Amino acid sequence: MKHTYDVIVIGSGPGGLAAAIAAKEHGAEDVLIIERDIELGGILVQCIHNGFGLELFDEDMPGPTYVQHFIEKAKGHGVDTLMDTYVMEITPNRKVFAINKDQGYIELAARSLVLAMGCRERTRAQIMLPGSRPAGVYTAGTAQRFVNVEGRMPGERFVILGSGDIGMIMARRLTIEGAKVERVLEIMPYLTGLTRNYVQCLLDYGITLQKQRTIHRIIGNDRVEAIEAVSVDENWNPIPGTKEDIPCDTLLLSVGLIPENELSKKAGVLLDPVTNGPFVDDQFMTSVPGIFAAGNVVHVYDLVDWVTEAGYVAGEGAAKYAKAQKVSEGEAVPLEAGENIRYVVPHKINKDNLGEELIRLQMRAINPIEERVLVTVENQDGEVVAKKGEPYARPGEILSLAIKPKAFDAVQKAEKLTVHVRER
Amino acid sequence: MTQSYDVIIIGAGIVGAMTARFLSKYDLNILWIEKEADIGMGTSSANSALVHAGYNALPGTNKALTNARAVEMWPQLSQQLGIPYQRTGDYVVAVSEADRATLEDLQARGQANGVPGMEIIDGEVMRQREPLIRPDTVAALWVPTGGMGDPFAATVAAAENAVMNGVELRLNTAFEDFIFNCSTITGVRTNQGDFHCRWSVNAAGLYADEIMHKAGVRPEFQIKPRRGEYVILDKAEFQLTQPTILFPTPTEKGKGILVTSTLHGNVIVGPNANFVDSKENKDVTQVGIQEIWSGGKKLVPAINRKHIIAQFAGLRATGNAPTPDSEIDYDQDFIIEIPEEVQGLVNLGGIESPGFTSAPAIALRVIELLENAGESLTEKPDWNPVRVPRPVFRHLSRDEQAALIAKDPAYGRIVCRCENVTEGEIRAEIHAPIPADTYDALKRRTWLGAGRCQGGFDMPRVVGILSEELGLTPEEVTKKGAGSPFLFRKTKDVEHDHLTVQELL
């Protein structure tokens, strides 16, 4: 094993794999992926459902099939891997400290570094779920690992809190395995996951979704015995007379994901309090020069295809930085969230980077608009630089818009760009 | 057939553990029983983790006397048993002239209890020492002998040392009744059979009242469980300027909601104090969390809800206030006695705060009571007071970590990524003198699953390790003993009602 690499990628999920592949394809010679698990692929290893690859391959694949494509490509490109290895610390000058069973304490250096640690699930504590602390309360992803990787059932009678994608996918999965999903509860007045998952995972299996309804109390000392459900108003206050005890042995939580940036913070990478991920430019370089970020570590995507695409962009940037072909030191135009937009990634576009490749913006809406909408990117004077029509805007589904090279002149001249989503 | 012991200790919280440890010094045949699957699962598992300086209790009470004595014991005990302990000092913060007067009362009380070095400092000085303190602070009582402990580690360490020195610990063994010969207790009836003894020690915490009633002692004494809720903040997101303990000025309701650093590195906020109807009701409530949050926010306005990573609640074994039948205010003091009504019982009750702090001194009092009752205690020549702690990976330097992995590669795999707990630590605890054989037992010992992801990552892996090391199926692994499995069955392992295509359509 070498000590110094052109590019070191932390994490081998779809973002990390794409970054490693792109780094190789853009001239980085020594590329290493560090993975804490015993196999490559990140969370996709346990995502045995379909729905992957529709955007990039126009093909509907299960997670492991999708990610295997990239694992083989990375291996074919000669990407080195360090498995079952945990990164303890990274520094602003791109030193990497890691441990594993065979080599003990490992110290490495990278000319550029790609953060691809993904995200973690929000827990019951983060949503202040009251009640006792029995066995049988799991995040949906943990339950998914039990079922799909370990081949074990974490319960027989489920209530699922949150209409996030993993929760709905698990509702179907558990039903197929002979368990009973009593209810999916969603505190918001709208779905927080993808509509297609609602149709394919809940509707098709006769599983009830109740909106504006949440859990008032978890009951049971040793194992979950029931949950007390309650309806809430717009301010999440319980509505009197709506309580119901739902007997169950397991509660699954699908209440959101948080980019996993503890390592990034150790390297001094600045984080956006809205996305909980690093501030990035159009090449996904963070506030620390030479440290890039790929995929869900930046913000939580709803489609893996877009994670892969972002990984490619970050990997290309990392390779170029490593080879010092291009270090963007020029002026940058900031991208800001405007009307009904919660956030935009990237946070800025480096004018030096404007070349032949389009720049993809990813946004989340604040409030749902259930009719045709127009997404616009406007300059400081309100002039439209790029736009795209969509049939609707929903907070659970990312809005995506590409700024094409023909608009780069306008970007060059802009002082700032603001993204809006409005009814047409 | 029944077995016979010199002493049976009932209850394996910190008081039982310290009693077992100090009694193990003598040539006694000791049985120690606990109804739960692990030691330290009751009040010892959920409290403020403080070694109190001892200025709160009324002078002359058992609380005041044992607290003062125990504060002297903790530094040595920490060395001998490898228990984390840090004497950081604590502050009681005043925001009005009325508060300042209370500080003066507390200081006087502390002096009467023998607490050294107390000093009332100006608000300005307080703000310099902890800039995050509420800006309207007018004064503070600085108490240099206050400190932080680790009730989990302390219970495990004392228990292990007791077991190393010959004490027989039986878990999952619930007290049912005493066995009498006239008015002498000669044994204990449990769900695991009868055990005979010359002495029983009631260290049953929340259940101490029920146990003494079985002996016919103090029928008017009742434990009124008083719940305290807490929140834990992400250590990477929020810290006090330096590790310290911040109390508000106490009221007649109690010490109030504090903001304190802990030896695990997290700041915690709590507790409130609300009576609950059940000794098992450790629910956290919306109202309770709001109550402690607003209390904490008053003291340290910079705390941020976004940084909460966990909530928990614990129960205090508070004794009842005077009743028509009895003038004794059990709310005010510990019961530490050999009652006159029966022979063969050492009775401990109402051990609420500062119970964790006082535990080693309560153990010494138990020994003195036995000696006063004519028990001739002879020291064992081979008693070993030292228990060496097992390595905690995250506390080691890089070189030490490298050396540990070289010795045992299992320390090179992180299983809990938030708290950096290694597979080596987990396996070591599973094979410790008191084996950790549930998830929560491992959590209390290693701090796995206690971080920001709350076990989301480690849980399947820990279930796997427990199953492998204990020779159990994954379905047999539990969170906290019988009735708390994680898993029910294998996938595919179910009888489907096979529907025909026609039926489906």
Q: In this complex, do B454 and A124 lie within 8 Å of one another by their Cβ atoms?
A: yes
Q: In this complex, do B412 and A223 lie within 8 Å of one another by their Cβ atoms?
A: no
Residues B347/B352/B354/B358 CA torsion (nearest 10 deg): 20
Residues of chain B positioned with their CB less than 8 A from the CB of A259: none
Is the separation of the CB atoms in A277 and A294 below 8 Å?
no
Give residue B369's region: left, alpha or beta (phi > 0; psi -120 to 50): alpha
* Tens of pLDDT, residues A59-68: 999 999 999 9
Among partner residues B280, B283, B484, which is closest to A135 by beta-carbon distance? B484
Residue B501's pLDDT is 52
* Tens of pLDDT, residues A373-393: 999 999 999 999 999 999 999
Q: By the CB < 8 Å criterion, does B383 face chain A?
A: no
Beta-carbon contacts of B155 under 8 Å, excluding residues fewer than 6 positions away, are B12, B13, B14, B17, B39, B40, B44
Residue B324's pLDDT is 84
Residue A2's pLDDT is 74
Residues of chain A positioned with their CB less than 8 A from the CB of B232: 125
Residues of chain B positioned with their CB less than 8 A from the CB of A38: none
d(CA B55, CA B111): 8
Residue B2's pLDDT is 61
Q: What is the DSSP letter of A198?
A: I
d(CA A379, CA A334): 10
Neighbours of B329 (CB within 10 A): 12
- Written as six digits, the tokens of A80 are 């080195």
**Which band of pLDDT confidence, cut at 50, 70 and 90, is reported for residue B254?**
confident
What's the half-sphere exposure (Cβ side, CA atoms, 13 Å) at B58?
A: 6
Residues of chain A positioned with their CB less than 8 A from the CB of B289: 128, 130
Average pLDDT along chain A: 95
- With vertex at residue A230, the alpha carbon angle to CA A224 and CA A232, rounded to the nearest 5 degrees, is 140
Helix B355-372 vs helix B14-23: crossing angle, to nearest 10 = 40
Beta-carbon contacts of A131 under 8 Å, excluding residues fewer than 6 positions away, are A215, A217, A218, A219, A227, A228, B283, B284
Residue B440's pLDDT is 97
Q: In this complex, do A97 and B453 lie within 8 Å of one another by their Cβ atoms?
A: no
Q: In this complex, do B484 and A134 lie within 8 Å of one another by their Cβ atoms?
A: yes
d(CA B171, CA A117): 41
Residues of chain B positioned with their CB less than 8 A from the CB of A128: 286, 289, 308, 311
Is the separation of the CB atoms in A141 and B456 below 8 Å?
yes
Beta-carbon contacts of B294 under 8 Å, excluding residues fewer than 6 positions away, are none
d(CA B456, CA A253): 11
**Which band of pLDDT confidence, cut at 50, 70 and 90, is reported for residue A325?**
low
Q: For A75-79, A203-207, B206-210, B317-321, which range has the lowest pLDDT when averaged over its residues?
A: B317-321
Q: Which of A87, A121, A146, A152 to mutate to test the interface with B (most CBs of B within 10 A)?
A: A152
Average pLDDT over residues A383-411: 94
Q: Is A300 helix (H, G, I), strand (E, B) or coil?
A: coil
Average pLDDT over residues B287-291: 95
- Of B203 and A328, the structure prediction assigns the larger pLDDT to B203
Is the separation of the CB atoms in A135 and A219 below 8 Å?
no
Q: Is A13 helix (H, G, I), strand (E, B) or coil?
A: coil
d(CA A421, CA A341): 7
Q: For A98-112, A152-166, A300-314, B317-331, which range has the lowest pLDDT when averaged over its residues?
A: B317-331
Kindly tell me the burial class for residue A178, based on how many C-beta atoms sit within 10 Å of its own C-beta (0-12, 13-18, 19 or more).
middle
Q: In this complex, do B496 and A178 lie within 8 Å of one another by their Cβ atoms?
A: yes
Helix B439-446 vs helix B458-470: crossing angle, to nearest 10 = 110
Neighbours of B86 (CB within 10 A): 15
Is the separation of the CB atoms in A137 and B310 below 8 Å?
no
Is the separation of the CB atoms in A73 and A27 below 8 Å?
no
Neighbours of B1 (CB within 10 A): 4
How far is Cα of residue B427 from the mean position of the Cα atoms in its chain? 23
Average pLDDT along chain B: 95
Among partner residues B311, B413, B484, which is closest to A84 by beta-carbon distance? B413
Is the separation of the CB atoms in B450 and A123 below 8 Å?
no
| This prediction's pTM | 0.94
Is the separation of the CB atoms in B230 and B271 below 8 Å?
yes
d(CA A316, CA A23): 5
Beta-carbon contacts of A38 under 8 Å, excluding residues fewer than 6 positions away, are A83, A84
Residues of chain A positioned with their CB less than 8 A from the CB of B412: 99-104
Q: Is B136 helix (H, G, I), strand (E, B) or coil?
A: coil
Q: In this complex, do B310 and A36 lie within 8 Å of one another by their Cβ atoms?
A: no
Is the separation of the CB atoms in A318 and A112 below 8 Å?
yes
Residue B500's pLDDT is 52
Is residue B52 flagged as an active site residue?
yes
Among partner residues B412, B418, B485, which is closest to A223 by beta-carbon distance? B485
| Chain A residue nearest residue B36, CA to CA | A222
Residue B323's pLDDT is 84
From the list A377, A341, A310, the residue with the least C-alpha distance to A15 is A310
Q: Is B424 helix (H, G, I), strand (E, B) or coil?
A: helix
Average pLDDT over residues A2-14: 95
Helix (H) or strand (E) holding B363: helix B355-372
Q: By the CB < 8 Å criterion, does A149 face chain B?
A: yes
Residue B504 has pLDDT above 80, yes or no: no
Is the separation of the CB atoms in A71 and A174 below 8 Å?
no
Amino acid letter, residue B503: E
The values of phi and psi at residue B241, to 5°, are -60, -40
Residue B497 has pLDDT above 80, yes or no: no
Q: By the CB < 8 Å criterion, does B498 face chain A?
A: no
Q: By the CB < 8 Å criterion, does B219 face chain A?
A: no
Average pLDDT over residues A234-250: 95
DSSP output for A221-247? SSB--EEEEEEB-TT-PBPTT--EEEE
Q: By the CB < 8 Å criterion, does A100 face chain B?
A: yes
Q: By the CB < 8 Å criterion, does B131 face chain A?
A: no
**Which band of pLDDT confidence, cut at 50, 70 and 90, is reported for residue A328?**
low
d(CA A9, CA A35): 9
Question: In this structure, is the dihedral angle defined by the CA atoms of residues B14, B247, B101 and B320, taken in order, positive or negative?
Answer: negative
Residue B436 has pLDDT above 90, yes or no: yes
- Written as six digits, the tokens of A315 are 């990997």
Residue B111's pLDDT is 97
Amino acid letter, residue A252: L
Q: In this complex, do B456 and A177 lie within 8 Å of one another by their Cβ atoms?
A: no
**Which band of pLDDT confidence, cut at 50, 70 and 90, is reported for residue B255?**
confident
Which residue in the list B52, B264, B307, B431 is annotated as catalytic?
B52
Work out the percent of chain B whose per-residue pLDDT is above 90.
93
Q: In this complex, do B454 and A133 lie within 8 Å of one another by their Cβ atoms?
A: no
Question: In this structure, is the dihedral angle defined by the CA atoms of residues B7, B13, B19 and B22, taken in order, positive or negative?
Answer: positive
Residues of chain A positioned with their CB less than 8 A from the CB of B36: none
Residues B156/B157/B163/B168 CA torsion (nearest 10 deg): -30
Helix (H) or strand (E) holding A73: helix A63-76
Per-state percent for chain B, helix, strand, coil, to nearest 5: 35, 25, 45
Q: In this complex, do B483 and A146 lie within 8 Å of one another by their Cβ atoms?
A: no
Q: Which of B414, B448, B463, B473 to mutate to test the interface with A (most CBs of A within 10 A)?
A: B414
Is the separation of the CB atoms in B218 and B259 below 8 Å?
no
Residue B499's pLDDT is 52
Work out the percent of chain A whose per-residue pLDDT is above 90.
93
Q: Which of B489, B499, B504 to mutate to test the interface with A (most CBs of A within 10 A)?
A: B489
Question: In this structure, is the dihedral angle defined by the CA atoms of residues B496, B497, B501 and B504, taken in order, positive or negative?
Answer: negative
Q: By the CB < 8 Å criterion, does A416 face chain B?
A: no
Residue B503 has pLDDT above 60, yes or no: no
Question: In this structure, is the dihedral angle defined by the CA atoms of residues B476, B478, B484 and B485, taken in order, positive or negative?
Answer: negative
Strands B184-190 and B175-181: antiparallel
- The alpha carbon of residue A130 is apart from the nearest alpha carbon of chain B, in Å, by 5
Beta-carbon contacts of A99 under 8 Å, excluding residues fewer than 6 positions away, are A85, A86, A88, A105, A106, B401, B405, B412, B414
Beta-carbon contacts of B86 under 8 Å, excluding residues fewer than 6 positions away, are B147, B148, B243, B263
Residues of chain B positioned with their CB less than 8 A from the CB of A153: 487-491, 493
Residue B180 has pLDDT above 90, yes or no: yes
Residue B494's pLDDT is 63
Q: By the CB < 8 Å criterion, does A91 face chain B?
A: no
Q: Which of residues 465-494 of B touch A (CB under 8 A)?
A: 474-475, 478-494
Strands B267-270 and B258-261: antiparallel
Q: By the CB < 8 Å criterion, does A124 face chain B?
A: yes
- Written as six digits, the tokens of A91 are 């520094």
Q: Which of A85, A103, A105 to mutate to test the interface with B (most CBs of B within 10 A)?
A: A105
d(CA B129, CA B123): 10
Residues of chain B positioned with their CB less than 8 A from the CB of A262: 236, 418
B49, B86, B102, B112, B246 from B74: Cα distances, Å: 13, 10, 28, 20, 21
Residues of chain A positioned with their CB less than 8 A from the CB of B391: none
Residues in chain B: 505
Beta-carbon contacts of B69 under 8 Å, excluding residues fewer than 6 positions away, are B358, B361, B364
Q: In this complex, do B456 and A141 lie within 8 Å of one another by their Cβ atoms?
A: yes
